[in-house]
Amino acid sequence: MKNRIIVGIIGIPLLIILIILGGWYLFGLVFVLSNICIWELINIFSKKGATPIKSLSYIWNSIFIISIFLILFYGGNYSGIPAMGILIVLLLLNSLLHFGINLWNKAPNNTINISTGITNFSYITLFFSSVICISLFNEFGEIFLNLNLLSLIQINEINWNYVLLSMFISIWSSDTFAYFIGRKIGKHKLFERISPKKSWEGAIAGFVGAVVGFTIPIYYLTPNFNFILSIIIGIVIGIVGPIGDLAESQLKRDAGIKDSSNLIPGHGGLLDRFDSMLFAAPSILIVLIIYFYFSN
């Protein structure tokens, strides 16, 4: 617990600062975290006999994260069709390269090796890139959604780094509510096969914590954000966050390990800390796309 508190005192303020600064600072954070998470995921898969071409996952993750950031950060230099074309090419090449290059991989279990590479991209790279898309959603809307002037003005009035920060606060609030309420009154097991300590009582408390943890901060941080939309996003986080946690727990339990790594004292690995976020970020992005596209 001492180690957990020390890491939290140092790590959380640093994370908040980088999120608020956004831009290149947030890009650097996402770039580093995503590559470390890929390293952890490869180690998890290695427990099941995977021996993938590691460099391919790191290189392709880096290329895609850099590409999506540059397209959005320098959005005025891109139109929707070329930008979409670049990303589609990268998506297609990812699968082609993992299947093709593994022809020269003489290690056993090539089926698992190829699956590991593709999972790295879909689970880590794409989900982490959603963080960048949310922080630069004004550029995202302009390039990819073809929104009218009124919608673009509405989007530009919102500080999207604060939206991203509210997402993290919501996840932390959900985890806190679930942990303490679950320990206090939790009796009915939520998913005993995957996570024996989690209860339905804790999950319900976590759901409430997620909604409250998003709607209150976003109301004060960026008042122009639509209140109904904030409730919807809070509900989405309350649902998909725990699923993300259970999904990563499923991988670890199948691999026979407790933590994704020992990188963070008292906390395990980065995947253990960002598993809920990996499901929450793309889900929020989908909600934002649907909301602004159909209200356009």
Among the ranges given (39-48, 103-112, 176-185, 201-210), the one the predictor scored with the smallest mean pLDDT: 103-112
Q: Are the beta carbons of 225 and 284 closer than 8 angstroms?
A: no
Please count the other Cβ atoms lying within 10 Å of the Cβ belonging to residue 31.
18
pLDDT at 1: 62
- pLDDT grade, residue 208 (50/70/90)? very high
Element (H, E) at 191: strand 189-191
- Calculate the CA 214 to chain-centre distance: 16
pLDDT at 80: 63
Residue 75 DSSP class: G
Q: Is the pTM of this model over 0.85?
A: yes
Structural domain boundaries enclosing 146? 2-294
Percent of the chain with pLDDT over 90: 60
Phi, psi of 99, deg, nearest 5: -75, -45
**Which whole number is the average pLDDT over 85-114?**
87
**Which whole number is the average pLDDT over 101-128?**
89
H helix runs in 136-226, sequence order: 137-140, 149-156, 160-185, 200-221
Please count the other Cβ atoms lying within 10 Å of the Cβ belonging to residue 49.
11
Phi, psi of 156, deg, nearest 5: -70, -20
For residue 261, the cross-strand partners are: none
Output the CA angle 23-168-239, nearest 5 degrees: 130
Residue 180 DSSP class: H
**Average confidence score pLDDT of the chain:** 90
pLDDT at 239: 96
Q: Are the beta carbons of 246 and 276 closer than 8 angstroms?
A: no
Structure tokens at 220: 């004060």
Among the ranges given (111-120, 186-195, 227-236, 281-290), the one the predictor scored with the smallest mean pLDDT: 186-195
What domain count does the chain have? 1
Please count the other Cβ atoms lying within 10 Å of the Cβ belonging to residue 12.
12
pLDDT at 9: 81
Phi, psi of 70, deg, nearest 5: -65, -40
Report pLDDT digits (tens) over 132-181.
Answer: 999 999 999 888 888 888 888 889 999 999 999 999 999 999 999 998 89
pLDDT at 220: 94
Could you give the CA distance from residue 115 to residue 119 in angstroms, rounded to a whole number? 6
Query: Residue 5 pLDDT more than 80?
Result: no
CA-CA-CA-CA torsion sign (40, 244, 216, 218): positive
Could you give the CA distance from residue 114 to residue 285 in angstroms, rounded to a whole number? 28
- pLDDT grade, residue 79 (50/70/90)? low
**Which whole number is the average pLDDT over 209-221?**
96
Report pLDDT digits (tens) over 261-284.
Answer: 888 776 788 999 999 999 999 999
pLDDT at 225: 94
Could you give the CA distance from residue 66 to residue 39 in angstroms, rounded to a whole number? 18
Query: Residue 21 pLDDT more than 70?
Result: yes
Percent of the chain with pLDDT over 70: 96
Could you give the CA distance from residue 61 to residue 288 in angstroms, rounded to a whole number? 24
Query: Residue 248 pLDDT more than 80?
Result: yes
pLDDT at 76: 58
Structure tokens at 78: 């891109």
- pLDDT grade, residue 6 (50/70/90)? confident
Could you give the CA distance from residue 91 to residue 30 in angstroms, rounded to a whole number? 19
Count how many Cα atoms sit within 13 Å of the Cα of residue 170 in the half-sphere of its side chain: 35
Could you give the CA distance from residue 292 to residue 296 in angstroms, rounded to a whole number? 6
pLDDT at 82: 80
Structure tokens at 256: 């026979």
pLDDT at 122: 93
Report pLDDT digits (tens) over 220-239.
Answer: 999 999 999 999 999 999 99
